[in-house]
Amino acid sequence: MNGARIGYHGRSHAEGLIEGIEVKIRKYRESDRTALVKLLEELMDYIASIDDLKRIRRMPMFGESYAQRILHKVAENSGIIYVAELGSEL
């Protein structure tokens, strides 16, 4: 895998340490979908929380719908999604 080096201690460019937690960068797997949906919903919740005009809100099923769109676009364009594992979490 080509990419930027994360952390130190002689680890490969796809691994590193963040405050004592091992970080591993790897390709997305279908088993990551639940975590991806949750993370997309948390991101949208955060974006909505900083919208002073309250124009942005997360609609029901946003995470699943957006994940489906992202995965479709990536597949359609022969792309790759990478995820970061911090310990045992994405």
Q: Tens digits of per-residue pLDDT, 15-29? A: 556 666 778 999 999
Q: Which amino acid is at 28?
A: Y
- Cα 51 to Cα 38, 39, 43: the distances in Å are 20, 19, 13
Closest to 30 measured CA to CA, from 83, 76, 77, 78 = 83
Closest to 83 measured CA to CA, from 47, 51, 37, 20 = 37
Helix axes 33-49, 62-76, angle to 10 degrees: 120
- pLDDT per residue over 6-56, tens digit each? 444 445 555 556 666 778 999 999 999 999 999 999 999 999 999 999 899
Q: How many CB atoms lie within 10 A of CB 18?
A: 12
